[in-house]
Copies of this chain bind each other. A is one copy, B any other.
Amino acid sequence: MQSDNPTAAILVIGDEILSGRTREGNAHHLAQVLNATGFDLREIRVVSDDQDQIVAAVRALDGSLGGAWDLLFTSGGIGPTHDDITADAVALAHGTTVEVNDEARALLQDRCDRMGTELTPNRLRMARVPVGARLIQNAVSAAPGFSIGNTHVMAGVPEVFRGMVDWLIPQLAAGRPVQSQSVEVRRGESDVAEDLKAIAGEYPDLSLGSYPFNDADGWGTNLVVRGLDAERVSEAMAAIKQRMAL
């Protein structure tokens, strides 16, 4: 698909994904938001709560650090426990250190006051962000995410992650939303390959994908056309339907 939309990567940080305990869902949610908003998601990585791995991935993926893509979004590892090392690792990747951020501390203090609890040293850990970072609002549980360079650091708890995404994405300079149309055919992928290739050749500006599945009625294939121009997407879908007599 031809696109000059800003490119993006997602870095998921957490042993619970790699151990198989938790099925990752934050990257899937953000993938949908990014495509619908006008960002071109190009890579997802999942690494463990390991400083070297996080630092290497941030440097490899954040364009402001010479990484491969324009923007980097992370999920996980910013809680209050000993294995929450994302803030420190992201700071290190950006050549800086962490500090207790006054604005973040005030947000946590305010929440503790309302909840009638104390701002313990563990809770205060969640106000530690890299020097120079901008905060990302957490409407669910106060402890903020943060942005530094082109790295946007968000929480792993799904409700909190989604709230941060809702707040953050509208503030970023987006391109054009991706348009897509799909049609299901009751044929195996091999039987549509030829037609699809021919149409893909006629529409180099679009992305044509085929996704085989196997259900109670046997094999079928979903054909998906994606692109930035809704009219071109409709044209290509019409061409598919005509060529395959759908």
**Which residues A6-56 have CB closer than 8 A to chain B?**
15-25, 27-29, 31-36, 41-48, 53
B32 touches A18 (CB 8 A): no
| Chain B residues with CB under 8 A of A35 | 19-20
Given the interface pairs A43-B46, A45-B43, A212-B157, the reply to whether A120 lies near B17 with Cβ below 8 Å is no
8 smallest beta-carbon distances between A and B, as pairs? A20-B32, A20-B31, A44-B46, A122-B193, A82-B197, A80-B190, A81-B193, A23-B28
| Chain B residues with CB under 8 A of A207 | 15
Given the interface pairs A16-B224, A43-B53, A80-B189, the reply to whether A157 lies near B213 with Cβ below 8 Å is yes
B17 touches A196 (CB 8 A): no
**Which residues A163-201 have CB closer than 8 A to chain B?**
178, 180, 189-194, 196-197, 200
Q: Which residue of B lies closest to A140 (CB)?
A: B214
A42 touches B18 (CB 8 A): yes
Q: How far is the CB of A189 from chain B (nearest CB, A)?
A: 5
The answer to whether the Cβ of A145 comes within 8 Å of any Cβ in the partner chain is: no
Q: Which residue of B lies closest to A45 (CB)?
A: B45
A residues with CB within 8 A of B: 15-25, 27-29, 31-36, 41-48, 53, 79-83, 120, 122-123, 125-126, 140-141, 157, 159-160, 178, 180, 189-194, 196-197, 200, 207-214, 219, 224, 226
Q: How far is the CA of A160 from the CA of B211 in the complex (A)?
A: 13
Given the interface pairs A43-B53, A80-B193, A196-B82, the reply to whether A214 lies near B157 with Cβ below 8 Å is yes
Count of this chain's copies in the oligomeric assembly: 2
A45 touches B42 (CB 8 A): no
Q: Which residue of B lies closest to A10 (CB)?
A: B46
Given the interface pairs A43-B46, A209-B83, the reply to whether A19 lies near B189 with Cβ below 8 Å is no
| Chain B residues with CB under 8 A of A125 | 193
Q: How far is the CA of A211 from the CA of B80 in the complex (A)?
A: 11
Q: How far is the CA of A79 from the CA of B41 in the complex (A)?
A: 23
B53 touches A48 (CB 8 A): no
A190 touches B123 (CB 8 A): yes
